């Protein structure tokens, strides 16, 4: 659906994007991650032709992308771009018509989305009267109302309470199930971890990691094991020395396997020594993967 190849963008002496390449497949939710200032938003702005890359190519559905593909793209920007004095419904209809919808079709679809996002009662309010979360909902509607094939969401969970974060996540998953393609940039790693199979982590304008989350977990798996047990059992296991780098915790102990293939043997050994409540391999979270990749 989308492929970017060796994008570069400089502003005088500042290199915002040095060399970024990745591909987003049709129907997937793809995560574009990175610390602040990594080049994510600049990359997104090049994809939607808000700015031009100095070098590199952008392909949409295997064709070299140019300005005429923007009607097939929905974009929710990180910065709110609403007209503060305009009314909610008028704003959403205006953005829909900018994307090529007739006024009649725009009104129909906006009404449907306002009801879905529980904003119907605020249709005649000005945008500035809304909370940050409600304003984010209006922007999301503007990104979806023309039924784009590719939806680009830059920090969509910004300003949302936990309930509405889950609501947004459900909408994004629903869009993917409908065959829409979603490029998602967000700092909330728990949401990315639940929605995305593949990710690209960028740092200082370059790709620091580009793979499935599962493959990155395997790559960075440090064979950590956590055992939950009562204090007397904890002492027995610590003394037995079954793990390396073993430390006691409030609920048990943690350490690392001596042999990556040795978990079954550990289970047998622990069972002979102590009465435990739980034993588990602790694999890297996406947050841990992210931190290690941008610090390496």
For the chain, the domains span 2-218, 221-295
Q: What is the largest CA-CA distance in the chain?
A: 75
pLDDT at 80 over 80: no
Q: What percent of the chain has pLDDT over 90?
A: 67
Mean pLDDT of 187-204: 94
Task: List, in order, residues 6 or more apart from 261 with CB less than 8 Å away.
Answer: none
CATH architecture of 221-295: 2-Layer Sandwich (3.30)
Mean pLDDT of 65-81: 81
Residue 154 is predicted with a pLDDT of: 92
State the Cα–Cα distance between residues 22 and 88, nearest whole angstrom. Answer: 36
pLDDT band at 206 (very low <50, low <70, confident <90, very high): very high
CB 165 within 8 A of CB 191: yes
Residue 65 is predicted with a pLDDT of: 78
Same fold, 2-218 and 221-295: no
Residue 222 is predicted with a pLDDT of: 87
pLDDT at 43 over 90: yes
142-167 as b/e, with b when 16 or more CB fall inside 10 Å? bbbbbebbbbbbbbbbbbbeeebbeb
Per-residue pLDDT tens over the stretch 216-274: 999 998 889 999 998 888 888 888 888 889 999 988 999 998 877 788 889 888 888 88
Residue 158 is predicted with a pLDDT of: 84
pLDDT band at 14 (very low <50, low <70, confident <90, very high): very high
* Phi, psi of 85, rounded to the nearest 5 degrees: -85, -15
pLDDT band at 17 (very low <50, low <70, confident <90, very high): very high
Residue 195 is predicted with a pLDDT of: 93
Third-level CATH fold of 2-218: Rossmann fold (3.40.50)
Residue 239 is predicted with a pLDDT of: 87
State the chain's mean pLDDT as an integer.
Answer: 91
3-state secondary structure of 212: strand
């Amino acid at each position: 659906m989308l492929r970017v190849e060796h994008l570069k963008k400089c502003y005088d002496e500042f290199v915002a994007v040095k060399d970024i390449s990745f591909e987003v497949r049709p129907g997937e939710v793809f995560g574009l991650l990175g610390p602040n200032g990594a080049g994510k938003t600049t990359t997104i702005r090049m994809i939607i032709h808000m700015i031009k890359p100095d070098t590199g190519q952008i392909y949409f559905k295997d064709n070299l992308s140019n300005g005429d593909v923007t009607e097939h793209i929905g974009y929710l920007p990180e910065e709110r771009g609403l007209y503060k004095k305009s009314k909610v419904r008028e704003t959403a209809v205006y953005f829909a018509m900018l994307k090529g919808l007739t006024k009649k079709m725009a009104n129909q679809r906006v009404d449907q989305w306002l009801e879905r996002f529980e904003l119907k009662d605020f249709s005649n309010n000005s945008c500035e009267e809304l909370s940050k979360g409600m304003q984010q909902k209006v922007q999301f509607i503007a990104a979806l109302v023309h039924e784009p094939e590719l939806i680009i969401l830059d920090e969509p969970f910004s300003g949302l309470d936990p309930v509405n974060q889950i609501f947004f996540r459900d909408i994004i998953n629903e869009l993917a199930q409908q065959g829409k393609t979603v490029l998602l940039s967000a700092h909330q790693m728990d949401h990315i971890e639940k929605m995305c199979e593949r990710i690209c982590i960028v740092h200082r304008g370059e790709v620091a990691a580009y793979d499935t989350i599962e493959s990155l977990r395997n790559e960075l798996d440090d064979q950590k094991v956590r055992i939950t047990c009562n204090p007397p059992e904890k002492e027995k296991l610590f003394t037995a020395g079954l793990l390396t780098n073993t430390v006691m915790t409030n609920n048990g102990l943690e350490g690392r396997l001596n042999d990556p293939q040795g978990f079954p043997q550990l289970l047998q050994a622990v069972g002979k020594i102590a009465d435990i409540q739980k034993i588990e391999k602790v694999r890297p979270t996406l947050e841990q993967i992210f931190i290690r990749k941008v610090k390496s």
